[in-house]
Amino acid sequence: MERIPQVKPVRRRKANRRALVFLALFFLSLATFLFVRSPYSKIHAVHVTGTHLLSPGEVIRQSGLVPGHTLILFSADRVRERLARLPEVKETAVAWRWPNEVEIAVTERAVLAYVVQNGQHVPLLEGGVLLFHRAGKGPYVDLPLVTRWEEPRRLPQLAAGLTKLPAAVRERLSEIQLVPTAAYPDRVRLYTREGFVVYTSLAHLADKLAALPQLLDDRLRENPQERGVFYLFDAMWYEGTAKTADE
């Protein structure tokens, strides 16, 4: 005689599982509801680090994060996208810190020089970005001034060369001018803080100027009173009598 399968225990197990799922969803919904109604669901504070050109307030306004707003819709990727629209920003790191604080670490583009336009000093950033809205607002004592530059399209090339130079080299420069010739349409004239003049090209800027501190120091040791001209092209030479006029 065949045995009839028992189905009641199977149905009971399925019912128990459905009840457990229902209870789990209920408590999850209740926890979500309580969290949303609690102070911990709201942004308590936004902390900003790494700013120099920008103020923390400017970063927070651009981020869209406002203390008191809900954390439920917080998205680090969305905040980074918003901050990337600021020309001063190179990259950012955004993180939520338990229980209800947000940290934004900003890496700004370096200020390489100040371009003198209409009597104002416009910051030139790496990447060739000009910050016209910050003209005259920054300290430009330790950065070179670009005082004669008739071809704005070559500013990104200048920025690229300056970016590759160590800060110790850039700090020795006081002024940069574009003085093209038929042979070198990208020729530049640079003045050092010690009073020397340097001629090179934008194409040679990064590799030739890397040796400039050593060249200056050697010349100052040999003759502390002399201020001459360095020519740093495919060939490199020095003339003891300073020339400031175009050749």
Instruction: Place 150 in a pLDDT band, splitting at 50, 70 and 90.
Output: very high
Alpha helices in 92-204 (DSSP H): 155-164, 167-170
CB-based burial, 3-34: b 16+ in 10 Å, e otherwise:
eeeeeeeeeeeeeeeeeeeeeeeeeeeeeeee
132, 84: one domain: no
Domain boundary among 83, 108, 133: 108
**Residue 69: per-residue pLDDT:** 80
Range of the domain at 151: 111-239
> pLDDT tens-digit profile of 110-142?
999 999 998 899 999 999 999 999 987 766 668
Q: Mean pLDDT across the stretch 59-87?
A: 91
Domain boundary among 51, 79, 108: 108
175, 163: one domain: yes
Whether 28 is covered by a domain: the verdict is no
Task: Tell me which H or E stretch contains 187.
Answer: strand 187-192
Whether 32 is covered by a domain: the verdict is no
165, 124: one domain: yes
Whether 1 is covered by a domain: the verdict is no
Report the distance separating Cα 58 and Cα 104, nearest Å. 12
Question: What's this model's pTM, rounded to 2 decimal places?
Answer: 0.79
